[in-house]
Structure 1
Amino acid sequence: MQIAAELAPGSRPSLATRAPLKFARQHLLSKDLHFWLTRTGLDTAPLGRRLKSPPAPPVLDDGRYRAALTAGTPDRRPMFTRLTDDRGTWADGTTERLDAPILATGYRPHLPYLAGLDGTLDPAGRPHHRDGTSPAHPGLECVGLEWQRSPSSNTLRGVGRDAARAARRLAARAPRA
């Protein structure tokens, strides 16, 4: 959303998403939401194991992104069904020339290559794990998953903690020379 809104003044961006966007206030009591998440400890609270399915992350907004979307700059569409070299095909079958597709895809895991490892994925295609560790395959660790351990697990400010934890667990499994 942020990239599309910044491009809008000089172009006609379209925002293709799997679901309508949800917005959350960027600032509360004149402080950034990240400040409050860190200050209260919610940023690192191990809440992920308590969630059956993680909530979709909202767009943190000070009001301008919602206003831009309401104004149609960018326009929001359902996700395209196909991309070729210079064209996108939308769900209704129409195609359109795309000058510069920007794929921001790191927000939801898509791991079909793990389907061959029995017990690794749930029916929705998400990895079975406890705090990032696969119960079905010792030594298989995940990092960067939504709500893996905490609300920040799939963010730049949180993935490092989960990666360090995974590295410690893998190091503990390594044979001693």
Structure 2
Amino acid sequence: MTQRTQVVVIGGGQAGLAAGYHLRRLGTEHVVLDAQAAPGGAWQHMWDSLRLFSPAAYSSLPGRLMPLQEGQPHPDAGHVAAYLADYEERYELPVQHGVQVEAVRDEGRLLRVETDAGVWRARAVINATGTWTRPFLPAVEGRREFAGRQLHTVHYANPAEFAGQRVIVVGGGNSGAQIAADLTGHAEVTWVTRRPPRYLADDIDGRSLFDAATARRRALDEGRPDTGGVASLGDIVAVPPVRAARDAGLLTARAMFTRLTATGAEWADGTRQDAGAVIWATGFRPALAHLAGLGLRGTRGRIATVGTRAADDPRLHFLGYGDWTGPASATLIGVGRTAREAAREIALPIR
């Protein structure tokens, strides 16, 4: 089966939906292909205790405010997934779920999008696949020798399955801090980071982060000195559970170990710590394997962009990958602006 449309959006999470919203407003024919069987993007797979950094009003996609979650000043992941499902339905976005994109190829004027449900041809593609399907595991000596359980953030659900165990959590970002805090009181936790944890001020939330990222992008675009953006503020947002664990002295990080052993970890000074599990909160990489046939990948696996557009192919746009494709574009509140810019550029004839 081969179909033709003006634009194919790959990915039906928050970035893909924001793109669909703006394409619909512009009257641009499009389809959104989503590998997930149900609406909600990666939010439907997050750990149970996860909360947004910001209140619902500052965590919304274009056109519709996220409703409040009763009893929760900062909504949980389930609430976000429900919001995305409602958003998709409310705006009648043409999302096809359960469709896996296998490859995008150049066919002269058009791009050929090959999937397990058929082929689409389009004059433009918006890639909004995010990073959730590409968890990153560092090359640590002994990782294959460790006899205990190893899992990445994507596989963590709640502390109940680790009750009474010794657990090492690796990662100095938000996920590492939140999972380590979640486990306190249930397991014996060793939190390991490559550098001392850097907490943002307690009153900083997602809106402040968006403002900082936007100010940095504006400064760079205008040729002014780099403000440092979000990175200048710190690495960890002190959401209430993290703040409580930190203030109670339960969230003290150790330096990164040098290797894993069969029974745990070993540090440079020879000290060892036994553990039944290691949780790698070590981040993600963009999910771009389906674009390999276009021959656009550059250093560190990224594709060079001008705004959201691929520098070497104006038919291809990227949404939702953080500062690489727009300030705070990996956030709910931040993706709307870059989605609007991409949709407007695509609505013009391809040069």
Match of 1:153 in 2: 329
1:125 to 283, 301, 304: 301
Give the match's secondary structure for 2:309.
coil
**Percent identity, aligned pairs only?**
23
Paired letter, 1:3: I
Could you tell me which residue of structure 2 aligns to residue 47 of structure 1? 217
Rounded Cα–Cα distance in structure 2 between residues aligned with 1:140 and 1:81: 41
Once residues 62 and 49 of structure 1 are traced to their aligned partners in structure 2, the CA distance between those partners, rounded to angstroms, is 29
Q: 1:105 aligns with which of 280, 283, 286?
A: 283
Q: Distance in 2 between matches of 1:155 and 1:14?
A: 29
The answer to whether the 8 A contact 1:79-1:90 is kept is yes
* Uncovered stretches (5+) of structure 1, i.e. residues with no partner: none
Q: Give 1:156 shift.
A: 2.5
**Are the structure 2 counterparts of residues 4 and 164 from structure 1 closer, same or farther at C-alpha, using a change threshold of 3 Å?**
farther
Letter in 2 for 1:149: G
Query: Match for 1:22 among 198, 201, 207?
Result: 198
Mapped to 2, the partners of 1:80 and 1:129 lie a distance apart of 36
Tell me how far 1:158 sits from its aligned partner.
1.0
Q: Which residue of 2 aligns with 1:4?
A: 180
The partner residue of 1:136 within 312, 318, 323 is 312
Q: Distance in 1 between matches of 2:340 and 2:238?
A: 30
Separation in 2 of the partners of 1:112 and 1:95?
A: 37
Residue by residue over 1:87-107, the C-alpha shift from the partner in whole angstroms, topping out at 9 and shown as x without a partner, is: 988898x9976558475734x
- Cα distance in 2 for partners of 1:2, 1:158 equals 22
- Structure 2 spans left out of the alignment, 5+ residues: 1-176, 221-225
Preserved contact between residue 15 and residue 75 of structure 1 (Cα < 8 Å): yes
The 3 A distance-change label for structure 1 pair 9 and 78 is: same
Q: Aligned equivalents of 2:192 and 2:308: distance in 1?
A: 29
Q: 1:98 to 1:36 in 2, by over 3 A?
A: same
Identify the residue that residue 59 of structure 1 maps to in structure 2: 236
**Cα RMSD (Å):** 4.8
Q: CA deviation digits over 1:68-118, x for unaligned, max 9?
A: 399464655649999xxxx988898x9976558475734xx3467366654
With structure 2 as the length reference, what TM-score do the two structures score?
0.33
Please tell me the residue identity of whatever aligns with 2:246.
A
How far apart, CA to CA, are the structure 1 residues paired with 2:200 and 2:194? 18
- Indicate the SS of the match to 1:10: coil
How many angstroms apart in 2 are the aligned matches of 1:66 and 1:121?
43
Alignment CA distance shift 1:37-1:102 (3 Å): closer
| TM-score using structure 1 length | 0.55
**Farther-moved stretch of structure 1 (128-137 vs 12-21):** 12-21
SS of residue paired to 2:237:
strand
Which is worse superposed, 126-135 or 94-103? 94-103
Judging changes above 3 Å, is the alpha-carbon distance between structure 1 residues 62 and 110 closer, same or farther for their aligned structure 2 residues?
closer
- 1:140 positional shift: 2.0
Q: Out of 63, 68, 74, which is 2:246 matched to?
A: 68
